[in-house]
Amino acid sequence: MKKKIYSAVIVLSLAVPALAAATDENKAEVNGTVELGVRGVGTNGDKARFQEFRDAREGFIGGMQVDALKGAYHLELDALNPGADDQSFQLKGGEYGNFKYKFNYNEMTHNYGFDAITPYTGIGTQTLVRVATPTDTSTWTKFDYAVDHKSYGGELELSLHSPFYVTFGAEKREQTGLRPYSALTYRNGGTRNYVELPEPISNSTDNLNMKAGYLGESITASVSGTLSSFKNDNKYFQGNFETFTNTASDNNVVLAPDNDYYRIAGDLSWRDLPLGSTLATGLSHANLNNSFSATDVYGANTATILAATPFSGALNRTTFDGDIDYTNASIVLSSHPLDKLDTKIYYNYLERNNKSSFISYGAASALTNNAKELLSYEKNTAGIDLGYRLPNKNKLEAGYEYLKIDRSTALPAYTAAGNFYRYANPESTTDDSVYVGLKNSALDWLTAKIRYKRLERNSDLNIDGVVAPTIYTTRFDATDKTMDEWKLSFDFYPVDSLDLGVNYTYAHNDYDWNNSSRNDDKRQNVYFDATWRAAKAFSLNGFVGFEKTDIDVNHRTTLALTPDRAEKTHDDFWTYGLAANLEATDKLTLNLSWQYEKSDGAVDFTQLAATTYTNVTESDDYTKKRLEAKAIYAIDPKLKMTLGYLYEKLDYSDQGYLNYTNLVAGGGPNGDYLSGLYANPNYEANIGYVMVAYGF
């Protein structure tokens, strides 16, 4: 209620002078709309899923939009959903050529799940206390997984009718609430089990931006700087997670550390060069850093944790200094050397240099040092794009791109046996990609495009049959592959009142060297669109989309080179929608829309060894339906009333959530403690509203 009052004050504070101005015809020109209404909501099922990013509760609703102009001065104000958890306000304006400004305040709620339960009390604090009988779910604490986001800030640009300008911006982002988390309950040996927990969220990010630039007839240049600081109020939270069965040795959940980021950049663009060229170049340097100690993340448990397994006093340092540099340099030359030829040549250098602290508490070859995981990389990209206009409104395009990524870690401490990750030695991938396309618009009623792209990736990461398979990861995204991609599109305009479109994409990745892991994937998307302006007062829009993804993966359950099973993962998705708009009378407009989505996943197994497997038939399957109807009646030119109705329904099923219980295996030492998160996302919702809008 307080929020609605605050918001009403804001809206009125802005509306009153705007309305005052609007009533004086000799003053500046002020236009706008004020809306006020009431909404009723009925929901069955998962309200959190229905309201994941929106506040769709019943009650008063409203909004306001104001535009004001006087000479070169302008001002725009928007207030959306004032008083709601997803309210936003924006005020922007200025004088052309002189200055402009922008202020905004924005709220958003992210609802993950309502009515979750946990065998802990102290929800929202850094200390969770286990209930006396965790196997009795009736004693668990109920809570909502939800995080409120707020951001507010402003920006001012001054140019003072000169070719120079400076921009200052400041913004603060805040998050508070509870986010899903899971913690191992039984880590130091034995069966691994987990408990779902509410992570206490309370953090903020402060951003400052400054830019100074020059806007000339031919040259545009700027220097800019960014400062960003992330502060987390909760570096950890703790509880007796492991005392379900044994003595606690490490009961801290370590959360995101604070960090500071800065970036400085310079950019130059030079137009009107010979051959119709424009040259653009940019250079930037950024640094991301932080510093924290064991005490920061373990709190009062620090001494106990450092003395126990696995540290046993062997931690090489109790502070961590994070330090990552980003360097980026790019240059692009676009030209128009011939009447019908466009060219673009580009080069980009990007480096991520991770200079963070080396942490170890055991032998270098064991899993007790971070040297192999601190990723650094260099990326070199170079390419050329060509576009040539052929006779009869044909346009031919072609291009080539070279991309080389060199990945490495700080210390060359790699030994094959027992290592899970593979960044001890510099490893690289090289992509060569070419494309060619043709666009034809010779006919007034048809535009057709076809485009083919091929990518060949060569990598020294390949392990299948090359290196003994003691390395347990196979990054499919960084191994040898070839990709073929076809894109087709047709836009038809058979008559002025009808637009039709078809878009089709086929992409095939063949991971040449992956005996195990992903070895092939195919993606096909096709979309049909139609707009029919059937009459002056009636139009129809419709679309149909179909997406099909098939992924082939070979797996092994031993370290043998030969896989023991092949999996084919199918992700099918299709959707259609229809919207109609009818201006029934001079005063009455009707909108009606319907949207349907169906997601269908499955995994088919092919037995390659003795073990047999059962196909998965329910994998993130869902149908979602949405109906929206709206009638807008103009009571008079300034006053409109809207009567609206929204229906939504989600039906979801997945093998992983069948026969869901909060206590798996009865709880206890070998059980899991689940909170109910995502267990029943189904919902059916009806919303009705009436809104009055006054325009001025």
Partner 1 sequence: MRNRLLPKLVVSTWSLAMLTMGGGLLGQFLAPDLVQAAELGAACVSCHEKPVASFKASFHAKIWQGKNDCQSCHAPTDKHENDPSKQNVISFNKGGGHTADELSQKCLGCHKKAAHLALWDMGAHKKNDVTCVACHDIHSPRSTVKQPTVCFNCHKDVRSDANKMSHHPIIEGKVKCSDCHNTHGTQTKHMIKADTVNLLCYKCHAEKRGPWIWEHPPVSENCVICHSPHGSRHENLMVEKVVNLCQNCHDDTQHHTTVNDGASTSHYTRTRACLECHHSIHGSANFRRSLTR
Which 194-213 residues touch partner 1, going by CB under 8 A?
A: 194, 196, 202-203, 205, 207, 213
Q: Which of 486, 493, 538, 694 binds partner 1 (CB under 8 A)?
A: 493
Q: Does 694 bind partner 1 (CB under 8 A)?
A: no
Q: Which of 155, 432, 484, 571 binds partner 1 (CB under 8 A)?
A: 571
DSSP E strands in 637-682: the ranges are 639-653, 663-664, 672-673
Q: Does 486 bind partner 1 (CB under 8 A)?
A: no
Q: Does 557 bind partner 1 (CB under 8 A)?
A: yes
Location of structure tokens 């005052």 = 20
Q: Does 16 bind partner 1 (CB under 8 A)?
A: yes
Among the listed residues 534, 511, 509, the one whose alpha carbon sits nearest the alpha carbon of residue 522: 509
Residues 89-108 that bind partner 1 (CB under 8 A): 89, 93, 96, 105-106, 108
Q: State the number of binding residues for partner 1 (CB under 8 A).
A: 198
Using CB under 8 A, which of the segments 18-26, 127-135, 635-643, 684-692 binds partner 1? Answer: 18-26
DSSP E strands in 96-186: the ranges are 99-118, 120-121, 127-130, 141-158, 164-184
Using CB under 8 A, which of the segments 132-140, 247-255, 410-418, 639-647 binds partner 1? Answer: 247-255
Q: Does 628 bind partner 1 (CB under 8 A)?
A: no
Using CB under 8 A, which of the segments 26-34, 36-44, 131-139, 630-638 binds partner 1? Answer: 26-34
Among the listed residues 675, 586, 582, the one whose alpha carbon sits nearest the alpha carbon of residue 637: 586
Paired with 238 in beta bridges are 127, 252
CA 653, 655, 658, 661 torsion: positive or negative? negative
Residues 390-449 that bind partner 1 (CB under 8 A): 395, 397, 407, 420-421, 423, 439, 444
Q: Which of 334, 433, 440, 682 binds partner 1 (CB under 8 A)?
A: 334
Amino acid at 522: K
Give the three-class secondary structure for 549.
strand
Q: Does 145 bind partner 1 (CB under 8 A)?
A: no
Q: Which of 121, 125, 330, 524 binds partner 1 (CB under 8 A)?
A: 330
Q: Does 457 bind partner 1 (CB under 8 A)?
A: no
Considering beta carbons, is residue 132 or 331 the nearer one to partner 1?
331
Using CB under 8 A, which of the segments 3-11, 35-43, 114-122, 581-589 binds partner 1? Answer: 3-11
Mark residues 353-392: x for contact with partner 1 by CB under 8 A, - for none: -x-xx-x-x-----xxxx--xxx-x-------x-x-----
Please report the DSSP string for 239-258 in residue order: E-GGGGTS--S--EEE-PPP
Q: Which of 120, 140, 244, 652 binds partner 1 (CB under 8 A)?
A: 652
Q: Which of 111, 118, 516, 589 binds partner 1 (CB under 8 A)?
A: 516
Q: Does 165 bind partner 1 (CB under 8 A)?
A: yes
**223 CB-side CA count, 13 A:** 1
**CB-based contact 553:566 (threshold 8 Å):** yes
Among the listed residues 13, 35, 14, the one whose alpha carbon sits nearest the alpha carbon of residue 695: 35
Among the listed residues 42, 46, 44, 45, the one whose alpha carbon sits nearest the alpha carbon of residue 57: 42
Q: Does 624 bind partner 1 (CB under 8 A)?
A: yes
CB atoms within 10 A of CB 225: 13
Q: Does 661 bind partner 1 (CB under 8 A)?
A: no
- In the 8-state DSSP scheme, what is residue 545? E
Determine the Cα–Cα distance for residues 41 and 59; give it in Å rounded to an integer.
9
Q: Does 140 bind partner 1 (CB under 8 A)?
A: no
Determine the Cα–Cα distance for residues 326 and 353; give it in Å rounded to an integer.
6
